[in-house]
Amino acid sequence: MKRVIAFLLLLSSILFGTQSSYKSIDKMQYDCDNNISGVDCLMLSIYYKDGQQGLQADMNKSISYLDKACKMNVAVACYNLGNFYAKVKRDRFKALNLYHKACEKHIVNACYNFKILTEETKNTKK
């Protein structure tokens, strides 16, 4: 999981520049809370998950920011949230919806997970 987060940080810095790396946490929270930057929501989610950047680890806040980033169409956030619902909450329906949303935005791993989870769901209904 740590490798996935590191990859996502690298990916977001490549795709969106390093804007989040020099923003203060307060500015990131403001931009996220006011629907200005979904990437800031994603970054806050990562920071709260691991207790980085002076923030205390808080999984509830992490998931809340991840959900907000997904709603702001940050596909990687939808993929990560899908993983959370598939592996932690064991909510296949929600995970499938999130993987589908991320897949539509060309997150290949989301497409793969969507296919696998769909097949598993069909097999458990038999």
> How sure is the predictor about 8, in pLDDT bands with cuts at 50, 70 and 90?
low
pLDDT, position 122: 79
Output the six-digit token pair for 11: 């990916």
Do 60 and 4 belong together in one domain?
Answer: yes
CA terminus-to-terminus distance, the chain: 32
53: left (phi > 0), else alpha (psi -120 to 50), else beta? left
Per the structure, the complete domain to which residue 119 belongs is given by 74-126
Q: How many distinct structural domains can be found in the chain?
A: 2
User: Which of 22, 47, 99, 113 minimizes the C-alpha distance to 64?
Assistant: 47
Closest C-alpha to 66, from 98, 25, 103, 24? 98
Is there a single domain that holds both residue 54 and residue 82?
no
> Quick check: 78 pLDDT over 90?
yes
In whole angstroms, how large is the CA radius of gyration of the chain? Answer: 15
Q: Are residues 51 and 103 in the same domain?
A: no
User: Is the same domain home to 38 and 86?
Assistant: no
9 plus 61 within the same structural domain: yes
